[in-house]
Structure 1
Amino acid sequence: MIAINDLTFEIGARALYDEANWHIKPGEKIGLIGANGTGKTTLLKIIVGDYKPTSGTISMAKDLTMGYLNQDLLSYSSDKNIVHVAMEAFERQNQLHDEIEALLKKLETDYSEDLLHKLSDKQHEFELLDGYNIEYKAHEILAGLGFSEEDCHRKLSTFSGGWRMRVMLAKILLQAPDILLLDEPTNHLDLPSIQWLEDYLKAFTGAIVIVSHDRWFLDKVINRTVESRKGKLTVYAGNYTFYLEEKALRAEIQRGEFKNQQSKIKQEERLIERFRAKASKAKMAQSRIKMLDKMERVEDVDDDNPEVNFSFKFSKQSGRHVVMLEHITKKYPAIDILDDAEAVIEKGDKIALIGANGKGKSTLLRIVAGADKDFTGKAIVGHNVTQTFFAQHQLESLHLENQILQELQAFAPKHTDTELRSILGSFLFTGDDVFKKIKVLSGGEKSRVALAKALTADANFLVLDEPTNHLDMASVNILIQALQQYEGTVIVVSHDRHFLDNVANKIWFIEDQKIKIYPGTYQEYEEWNSKRKLEPKAAIPAAQPKKEEKKPEPAKQQPNDNKHQQLKKLNQDLSKMEEQIAVLEKEVKQAEDQLADPSVFNDAAKLKDTNALYKAKQAELNTLQSKWEALAEQIMELEA
C-alpha cells in the first residue's frame, strides 16, 4: 500500500530519520509511537506530501485515498452547521445532489426526454453512491463523537477548538479512505466518545496509522506497533502491550550480547597490551587491533523508562474525613448538574472522577477543591487537610521569565536544590534542561513543570484536573509512579484509562444528578458497567422522588371524594405511562445499537428498515412523553 525506503529527513544539521524503512500493508492497524521529538507527526506529514524527504522514496498507488487528522485542523472554522461541514466528505454525492436539484428546477418548465434521461442517470448514480443515506451517516458519526441533535444545527464557528476537531474527525471518517492517518485522535474526546471511536476503528476495513499517547486506546485498536527511535522505524507484530513485552525481550538479548562483546573486547585489549612490546608478537598484536577496529559494536540498552527516585512528603496527616459533601445542589441555566447529592472523601482514597463531557465532572472537582462556591448544600473540609489543585489553566500562572529550577525554588523553598533537581529529573528535565526558561517550553513541558510544582507542595490532598494532557507515555508513567507511592489522598479527572486503572482505588461518576461510587479499579468498574448496560432497565416509578401531597388545613378542609378518586386514577395512568416510556426507551436504545452495528450500517436494506423502525419508535416515544407532561401538569393542578 505504502512503501517507505531509505528515508532520510533532516532539520538543520539533525537527521530526524536516517535511512528508515517501513511498508504499510492493506488492512493493518498501526500505532506509531516514540518519545516526543522523534518525528512521529513529521512522518505523517511526509507521507501525505506536506514535507519532502531529504533522500529516500515513498511509493504508493496513484488512486490511494488518505484521510489525515492533524492538530492544525483546530484552527479550521466555518459558518455552516456541523452536519454540512461533515457532509463535505461526500464530494461527488454533494455535486450530484446539486445537479439533481438544478434538473428538477428545469423540469418545471421543460419536459424534454433529454432532461428526463439526465435526471434518471444522475439519480441512479446518486443511489449507487448511497447518497440518500449520507445525512443519516453524518448524524450517526457526530452522535458517536458526542454531539447532540441540537448541536447538529449549530454553526461550526460557535464551537471551541476541541469540538471543531471532533467535527473534522467525523468528516474524515465519513470519507472512508483507503488509509486513515490519525494524529492524537483522542486528545479532545471524552470517555464515551473514545470508546465509540475504538469500536468504529476496529470495524474499519482500511489501513490505519495512529499517533497516540493513550496506550489503552492503542491496545484496543491496533495490531501492529512501529517505534520511531534514533532515526529508525522498528516494527513489532502486535499491540502496545505486545510491543512492551517484545521490546523487553529484545533488550534482554541485546544486553546479553553487549556484555559478552565487552568481555571479549577487554580480553583482546589485555592480549594486545601484553604482546605489543614484544617484537616477535607485534604482527599478531597489530592484527588483533585491526580486528577490534572492524568489529561491529553492539550498543548497550538505553533505559527508556525513567523511575521516580524521590518521595513525596507532607508535614501533617489529615483526619479520617478529607471532604464531606452534604445535600449539594448545583445548577446552570440550561442544565442541572447535581441535586441533593452526597459523598465523602476519606483519607487514603485515590478517586477517579469519570463520565462524558458536560456531565459536571470539572464542576464537581471545583466544588471539592473549594474553587466553586456557587451551590447549595455544604462542602466540609476535614481536620488538618492541606490541598493542592492542579488544572490546565494553571499553566498560564507559570512565570515565563523564570528558569525551570527557579520556578520550583520560588514555590517550594523548603526543598534543597538537589531535591528539586531530582524531582525535575523524574519529569525528564535533566542536566542543563533545568536552566531553560519557561517561555521556550512546549505545552507538554509546561505541563510537566506545573505537575512537578503541584507534587512539591506540602499537601496531603491532591485535586488533579486532566493532569495527563500533553504528556507523552514516559511522563504519564512517571506520574503514575509518583501517585502510587504518594501516601495522601487524591481525586483526579482524566480520560487516560491506563493512568486511571493504575492510580485509582475508587470510581466516582455522576448519574441522575447524584454522585455514584464504585469501590474498585477502573478496569473492574468497566467490567461491572458493561454488564449493567446489558441488563434491561425496569421502570420503577416508586423509586422516583414523589411530591408530598399538600395536607389541607383542618379549618379549610373540604372533603371531596370525587377529587381524590380522580387523582388516584390519574396517578395510576401516570405510572402506566412511565412503564410504557421505559419500554419504548429500551426499544429506541436497541434500535440505536443496531444502527451502530457494522453488519447493519454496511447493508443498505437492513439500514433502511432499522432506520425506519428507529424513527417510528422515537416518534412514538416523543408523543408519549408529551402526554406524560400534560398528565403530570393536570395532577399538579389538582394537588395545588
Structure 2
Amino acid sequence: MLAGLQNVTFEFGARTIVEDATWHIHPSERIGLIGYNGTGKSTLLKVIVGEYLPSKGTVERSRGTSIGYLHQDLLSFDTNESILEVALHAFDRAKKVQKELDEITVKLETDSSEELLLEYSHKLHEFEEAGGYEIEHKTEEVLQGLGFANADLQRPYREFSGGWRMRVLLAKMILQAPDLLLLDEPTNHLDLPSIEWLEKYLQHYKGAVVIVSHDKYFLNRMVKKIVELYQRELHIYNGNYDYYEKEKAVRIEMQQKAYENQQDYIRQNERLIERFRAKASKAAMAQSVIKKLDKLDRIEDAALERPDIRINFNVDKTPGKVLVELKHVSKHFKNIDILENASAEIERGDKIALIGANGKGKSTLLRIIAGTEPFEGERKWGHNIDPAFYAQHQLESLHMDNTLLDEMREAGAKKTDLELRALLGGFLFGGDDVDKKIKVLSGGEKARVALAKTIISKANFLLLDEPTNHLDIHSTELLIEALNRYEGSIILVSHDRYFISKIANKIWEIKDKEIKEFKGGYEEWVEWNERMAAREISNRQSAIGNQKQEDRKKESSKKQETIEPKEPRQSAVNQSTVQAELKKQQKLFQKLEKDVAELTAKKDKLEAKLAHPDTYSNGEEFKKTEAAYKDVTTKLEAANKEYEIVFEKMISLDEDLLK
C-alpha cells in the first residue's frame, strides 16, 4: 500500500465531508475519484497529502512514498523562468548530481586515487538513476505532447495564461514521476489532442494515479477503479466509469428494496407496540420490541441526493433552411493564419461540434459566426434567426448587483420562480444560493449563470463555447438531455468527447486553413479518421513494395545487358532441371505474395486498433494487441526477406534459361 485512509472522519467547519472512511491506494492502481460538485473530492485529496488533518482516524503513507498533487491552487506560482526551465525543475536532483560530477572531474585532474574514482563511478550511477542522460529530450517530449510548440519552450512562464501554466506544472509533475500522482481535473485546460496524449502517457506510467475528473471518456480509458464520495461515505467499484454506472444502479435498487422491507418491518412492530403497550400482561413484550427496534441498524433511503431536473427550451421562431453562410472567409492574427478563403454553411437542424487542437481558431470561428470578431470575406445571416452566444469570457452581460434569481427573471422566459429555482439547481445552485448577488460569485459560478441564461432564452440558434467546463457529470447529462430535446440548431466548441458524441450530428475541423465538414457523429468521425490513417499506411507500404520490385527489375535488366558474349545454350537436360526449379520457385513466390498481403492487412488492422483510444482503456487488451502487433511485424519482416530471396532466385533462373 502506498497511502490511504483508515476509519477517517473529516469535518470542515460544521460540515462532515467523510465519516469513518477506509480507502487503501496500492502501487500501479488507476483510480477515478468522483462525486457531485461540492461533496469534497478536492478536500479529500488534501487530507491524503497531509494539508488537512482528520477529525478521527489515521491517514497512512508508506515510508519513502513520493506524492505529486496537481490542483488549481498551484496557479498562484509565478516566475520569470522559461517554461522549459520550470519543467526541468523536475530533475533538480539530477542537476545537483551533475554539479557534483563536474566538481569531481576537476579534482581528478590532480588526484586519480581509487577512492575518488569510486565516488565518480557512484555519482555516474546516481546521475543515470535520476534520468540525467535524457533530461532535455524527455522534458521537450512531454511539453510538446501537452500542446507546446518548439518556439514556446524558451518563452517566459508568466507570459502564458492560467490554462497553459497548468499544462507546464502538469508536465513538471509527471516528469518527477512520483509513486502516487493525484490529479485534480487535469483535462480542464487541455484540448483533444493533448487529452489523448495524456491518456497514452499515463497508461504506461509506473506509479499509481488518482484522478478527479468530470470527463467520462477520460475516466473510462484511464481508470480500473472508481471511488465515489456520496452521502459522506466512500463507495468503491472495481471497474471503469461505465461499470460504475451499471453497478451503482444495481446497488441502489437492492438498497431501496432492503430499505422498503425494513420500513415494513418497523411499521409492523410499531403497530404491535401501540396495540400492547397499554396492556399490563403484554407491556414487557412491548418493551422488548422497542429495545429491538432501538438496536436496529437502520438502512438509509437509496433515493439519489440530486433529483433529475428537466431543462426545457421554448423556441419562438422557425428559421429558414440556411441559418448562416460563410463565403471566402479569411482570418489572420499577427503570427498565425486561421482561415484562408474558407466557406461553409449551417442548416436548420444542424448540431455541429467544432473540434481540434488549441490555437487552431475554434473560438475565433465561433465569434466570426456570432458577428463579434472582425474578418475578411462574407458572413450571410439567414431568415428569422434568433441567436444566443455563450462564451466563458463574455460575462459582461451579467448584472453584478442582481441576485441569481433576479438575473434569471430578466432573461425573459416567463417561467415561475419555482421553475427558475429548479433550473438553477441543475446548474449547481441550490437553496439560498439563488439569493446571492452575481458580484460575489467565483468565475466558474458566473460562467454557470451565463450558461443557465443561454439555456432559458427562446433562441433558435445556440453558439456554445466550452459549456461543460464548470459542470459535474450529472449536470452535463442534464444539459445533454436538454440539448437533444432542443428544436433549434447548435454549433459548439468542447473538449469533452462524451458530450460531443451525444450531441453532434456534424463535425467541423479547421484544417489547412479551411473548414472541413464531416456529416456524422463524433464516433463515426473517429472511425473514419482511423480508416483513412490505415489506408494511408497501406498505400505507403504498397508504393514502397512496388518501387522495390521496379528497382529489382531494372537491376536485372542491367545485368542481362552486360552479359557478353553469350555462352552456348545449356543442354536439354540442364534446361529441364532449371525449368522445374523455376516452377517450384514461382509457386513459392505466389504463396509468399499471398502471405505478405495477409500479414500486411493484419498489421494494418492492429495498427488501426492501437491508434484507437478504446484499446488503451483495457490494460490486458492493450498488452495483447501490442504483443500481436510485434508478432505480426516480425513475421512480415521474415516473409518480406524470403520474398526478396525467392524473387532473386527466379530472376537468376530466368537468366540461366536465356544462356
TM-score normalised over the length of structure 1: 0.80
Q: Secondary structure at the match of 2:258?
A: helix
Aligned to 2:77: 76
Distance 1:418 1:3, change over 3 A: closer
For residues 290-336 of structure 1, give each alpha carbon's deviation from its aligned partner in whole angstroms, at most 9, with x where no partner exists: 32232222111122563333421121111110111111111112111
Q: Secondary structure at the match of 1:280?
A: coil
Provide the rounded CA distance (Å) in 2 between the counterparts of 1:60 and 1:117. 35
The alpha carbon displacement at 1:145 in A equals 0.5
Provide the rounded CA distance (Å) in 2 between the counterparts of 1:61 and 1:285. 53
Distance 1:368 1:477, change over 3 A: same
**Equivalent residues of 2:311, 2:478 under 8 A apart:** no
Within the alignment, does 1:166 sit opposite 2:187 as a pair? Answer: no
> What are the equivalent positions in structure 2 for 1:596-611 lying under 5 Å apart?
none
Provide the rounded CA distance (Å) in 1 between the counterparts of 2:534 and 2:177. 30
Q: Which amino acid aligns with 2:414?
A: K
Provide the rounded CA distance (Å) in 1 between the counterparts of 2:121 and 2:302. 67
The alpha carbon displacement at 1:82 in A equals 1.7
Within the alignment, does 1:239 sit opposite 2:240 as a pair? Answer: yes
**Equivalent residues of 1:510, 1:516 under 8 A apart:** yes
The alpha carbon displacement at 1:136 in A equals 0.5
Aligned to 1:509: 509
The alpha carbon displacement at 1:409 in A equals 1.1
The alpha carbon displacement at 1:129 in A equals 3.8
Q: Which amino acid aligns with 1:475?
A: S
Within the alignment, does 1:223 sit opposite 2:224 as a pair? Answer: yes
Aligned to 2:477: 477
> What are the equivalent positions in structure 2 for 1:390-409 lying under 5 Å apart?
390-409=390-409
Aligned to 1:53: 54
**Equivalent residues of 1:509, 1:516 under 8 A apart:** yes
Provide the rounded CA distance (Å) in 2 between the counterparts of 1:443 and 1:481. 25
Provide the rounded CA distance (Å) in 1 between the counterparts of 2:190 and 2:405. 34
Aligned to 1:492: 492
Provide the rounded CA distance (Å) in 2 between the counterparts of 1:171 and 1:116. 33
Provide the rounded CA distance (Å) in 2 between the counterparts of 1:333 and 1:445. 33
The alpha carbon displacement at 1:138 in A equals 0.5
**Equivalent residues of 1:36, 1:472 under 8 A apart:** yes
**Equivalent residues of 1:325, 1:379 under 8 A apart:** yes
**Equivalent residues of 2:37, 2:472 under 8 A apart:** yes
Provide the rounded CA distance (Å) in 1 between the counterparts of 2:498 and 2:129. 43
Aligned to 2:654: none
Q: Secondary structure at the match of 1:351?
A: strand
- The number of equivalent residue pairs is 542
**Equivalent residues of 1:76, 1:164 under 8 A apart:** no
Provide the rounded CA distance (Å) in 2 between the counterparts of 1:261 and 1:334. 69
Provide the rounded CA distance (Å) in 1 between the counterparts of 2:247 and 2:472. 20
**Equivalent residues of 1:216, 1:498 under 8 A apart:** yes
Provide the rounded CA distance (Å) in 2 between the counterparts of 1:59 and 1:429. 35
> What are the equivalent positions in structure 2 for 1:78-93 lying under 5 Å apart?
78-93=79-94
Q: Secondary structure at the match of 2:227?
A: strand
**Equivalent residues of 1:75, 1:161 under 8 A apart:** no
Aligned CA RMSD, in angstroms, stands at 2.4
Aligned to 2:455: 455
The alpha carbon displacement at 1:35 in A equals 1.3
For residues 587-635 of structure 1, give each alpha carbon's deviation from its aligned partner in whole angstroms, at most 9, with x where no partner exists: xxxxxx9xxx999xxxxxxxxxxxxxxxxxxxxxxxxxxxxxxxxxxxx
Q: Secondary structure at the match of 2:337?
A: strand
Provide the rounded CA distance (Å) in 2 between the counterparts of 1:493 and 1:315. 25
Q: Secondary structure at the match of 2:510?
A: strand
**Equivalent residues of 2:224, 2:240 under 8 A apart:** yes
Q: Secondary structure at the match of 2:90?
A: coil
Moved more, 114-123 or 281-290: 114-123
For residues 529-588 of structure 1, give each alpha carbon's deviation from its aligned partner in whole angstroms, at most 9, with x where no partner exists: 23323332779xxxxxxxxxxxxxxxxxxxxxxxxxxxxxxxxxxxxxxxxxxxxxxxxx
Distance 1:323 1:471, change over 3 A: same
Aligned to 1:293: 294
Aligned to 1:311: 312
Moved more, 219-228 or 122-131: 122-131
Distance 1:389 1:72, change over 3 A: same
For residues 255-283 of structure 1, give each alpha carbon's deviation from its aligned partner in whole angstroms, at most 9, with x where no partner exists: 11111122222222333333334443333
Provide the rounded CA distance (Å) in 1 between the counterparts of 2:172 and 2:55. 32
Within the alignment, does 1:466 sit opposite 2:471 as a pair? Answer: no
Aligned to 1:7: 8
For residues 472-514 of structure 1, give each alpha carbon's deviation from its aligned partner in whole angstroms, at most 9, with x where no partner exists: 1122122111111111001110111111111111111111111
Q: Secondary structure at the match of 2:168?
A: helix
> What are the equivalent positions in structure 2 for 1:374-389 lying under 5 Å apart?
374-389=374-389
Provide the rounded CA distance (Å) in 1 between the counterparts of 2:84 and 2:443. 32
Provide the rounded CA distance (Å) in 2 between the counterparts of 1:308 and 1:325. 37
Moved more, 233-242 or 1-10: 1-10
Provide the rounded CA distance (Å) in 1 between the counterparts of 2:125 and 2:428. 60
**Equivalent residues of 1:306, 1:426 under 8 A apart:** no
Q: Which amino acid aligns with 1:331?
A: H
Q: Which amino acid aligns with 1:386?
A: D
Provide the rounded CA distance (Å) in 1 between the counterparts of 2:501 and 2:413. 34
Whichever of the two has the greater Rg, that structure is: 2
Provide the rounded CA distance (Å) in 2 between the counterparts of 1:119 and 1:249. 62
> What are the equivalent positions in structure 2 for 1:97-176 lying under 5 Å apart?
97-104=98-105, 110-114=109-113, 119=120, 121-176=122-177
Aligned to 1:426: 426
**Equivalent residues of 1:330, 1:337 under 8 A apart:** yes
Provide the rounded CA distance (Å) in 2 between the counterparts of 1:382 and 1:64. 62
Distance 1:417 1:130, change over 3 A: closer
Q: Which amino acid aligns with 1:518?
A: F
Aligned to 2:331: 330
Provide the rounded CA distance (Å) in 2 between the counterparts of 1:147 and 1:454. 33
Provide the rounded CA distance (Å) in 1 between the counterparts of 2:129 and 2:255. 56
> What are the equivalent positions in structure 2 for 1:516-595 lying under 5 Å apart?
516-536=516-536
For residues 131-164 of structure 1, give each alpha carbon's deviation from its aligned partner in whole angstroms, at most 9, with x where no partner exists: 1211100011111001111111212122112111
> What are the equivalent positions in structure 2 for 1:269-288 lying under 5 Å apart?
269-288=270-289
Moved more, 32-41 or 444-453: 444-453
Aligned to 1:94: 95
**Equivalent residues of 1:162, 1:188 under 8 A apart:** yes
**Equivalent residues of 2:427, 2:471 under 8 A apart:** no
Provide the rounded CA distance (Å) in 1 between the counterparts of 2:121 and 2:267. 84
Distance 1:102 1:78, change over 3 A: farther
Distance 1:85 1:534, change over 3 A: farther
Moved more, 292-301 or 96-105: 96-105
Q: Which amino acid aligns with 1:212?
A: S
The alpha carbon displacement at 1:45 in A equals 1.3
For residues 91-141 of structure 1, give each alpha carbon's deviation from its aligned partner in whole angstroms, at most 9, with x where no partner exists: 22111222334455667xx54325776555544542454412111000111
Superposition misfits of 4+ residues, deviation over 6 angstroms = none
The alpha carbon displacement at 1:46 in A equals 1.5
Q: Which amino acid aligns with 1:167?
A: V
The alpha carbon displacement at 1:31 in A equals 0.5
**Equivalent residues of 1:404, 1:437 under 8 A apart:** yes
The alpha carbon displacement at 1:227 in A equals 0.7
Provide the rounded CA distance (Å) in 2 between the counterparts of 1:402 and 1:349. 35
Percent identity of paired positions between Structure 1 and Structure 2: 55
Provide the rounded CA distance (Å) in 2 between the counterparts of 1:257 and 1:127. 59
Provide the rounded CA distance (Å) in 2 between the counterparts of 1:53 and 1:228. 16
Provide the rounded CA distance (Å) in 2 between the counterparts of 1:308 and 1:458. 19
The alpha carbon displacement at 1:453 in A equals 0.6
Distance 1:396 1:21, change over 3 A: farther
Distance 1:407 1:80, change over 3 A: same
Structure 1, unmatched stretches of 5+, are 540-592, 600-640
**Equivalent residues of 1:7, 1:53 under 8 A apart:** yes
Distance 1:163 1:327, change over 3 A: same
The alpha carbon displacement at 1:413 in A equals 5.9
Distance 1:122 1:312, change over 3 A: same
Q: Secondary structure at the match of 1:380?
A: strand
Q: Which amino acid aligns with 2:25?
A: I
Q: Secondary structure at the match of 2:153?
A: helix
